[in-house]
Amino acid sequence: MKKVSLGSRTFDAVNIFVMLLIMIVILYPILNIIATSVSSARYISSGSVSVWPKGFNVEAYTTVFKDPFIFKGYLNSIIYAVGSTGLMLLFTSLMAYPLTVQTFVGKKFLTIFLMITMFFGGGLIPTYLLMRSMHMLDTLWVMILPGAIGAYNVFLFRTFFHNIPAELKESALIDGANDLVVLFKIVLPLSKALLATFALFGLVGSWNSWFEALVYLQDQDKYPLQMVLRNYLFTLDTNAIAGRVGAGNVAINQPGDSLDPQAVRMSVIIITMFPIMCIYPFFQKHFTKGVLVGSIKG
């Protein structure tokens, strides 16, 4: 058996210690949010809740789920996340594949055009005017279409497609397949790690997005879940608990009752985080391959 040196053991010990510290720093806020969401009001107001709930109470969750905007926000966020991510994967693949074809005439022009968009952007006001001129304001499409193509994603897809053996594409073309068949039958099935990684990034990015909804949407029925969460966090007054919170449909009890506004905030945060926390473990195996995308020059 190979003897492990003292320096190696010291490095491993320091590495484990640092990773444990990072894990504690990450987990403590999450555990505190969960504990606060299911604790009684008197313990929350006294600041005695840390990582373990005190006076177990789920009234905050039952109160929040009475708000119909929570369910509408869930449905809207799912539509926006799945729609924008699906279109992003489709359109990015369709644009990246021609850039790997040696005989494609417009490859150099498109590459330069995409590269320019990485350094220069129109900004918020021109983008808003563009959305208005296309009659997309306050529609579902304004949350789905704008992120369908990104230059950075196109270049990473192109690099990954370059690493697929050219002999597979050539043999398919010789057998009579066209470029669409090669893309969908050969290239994309061999790019599952790439697609899974960017699907996760797209889903998480869309799920956590709220600024676009704040700018482009006026109808509360079209708000994503993050906008509902924002309304809870910013409109719930801790000094005047009585009234209506969230999107304006849930009543909060008077001070001294079993429900604390802080518990309501934390319960909405947990409800918002829960889907992403569930899907992360299933995509984690693709991270190792995904982070290497673009590391080899194509």
Which CATH number covers residue 265? 1.10.3720.10
Question: How many structural domains does the chain have?
Answer: 1
- The answer to whether position 52 is within a domain reads no
Is pTM beyond 0.85 here?
no
Per cent of the chain over pLDDT 70 is 86
> Would you say residue 89 has pLDDT above 90?
yes
pLDDT at 223: 93
The secondary structure of residue 2, as a DSSP letter, is P
Assess if residue 203 is contained within a domain. yes
pLDDT digits (tens, 9 = 90+) for 18-69: 999 999 998 999 999 999 988 888 888 888 888 888 888 888 898 888 888 8
> According to the model, what pLDDT value does residue 53 have?
87
The whole-number pLDDT of residue 249 equals: 47
CA distances from 293 to 22, 53, 116, 289 (A): 26, 42, 21, 7
Q: Shortest CA distance to 140 belongs to which of 228, 216, 230?
A: 216
Tokens 């809870």 belong to residue? 232
Asked if residue 284 belongs to a domain, the reply is: yes
The structure tokens 């009475």 sit at: 66
Which whole number is the average pLDDT over 149-156?
Answer: 90
Contact 104, 98 (CB under 8 A): yes
Q: How many helices (H) does the chain have, and how many strands (E)? A: 14, 2
The residues that bridge with 18 in the sheet, in sequence order, are none
How far is 72 from 291, CA to CA, in rounded Å?
Answer: 34
**Lowest-pLDDT range of 94-98, 154-158, 255-259:** 255-259
Range of the domain at 91: 60-298
8 in a domain, yes or no?
A: no
Q: What percent of the chain has pLDDT over 90?
A: 31
Is 49 among the domain residues?
no
Token pair for 208: 């956590």
Residue 93 pLDDT > 60? yes
Q: What is the pLDDT of residues 166-221, one digit of tens each?
A: 888 888 888 888 888 989 999 999 888 889 889 888 988 899 988 999 999 999 89
Residue 241: its pLDDT value, please? Answer: 40
Decide if 70 is inside a domain.
yes
Q: Whole-angstrom Cα distance, residue 34 to residue 266?
A: 7
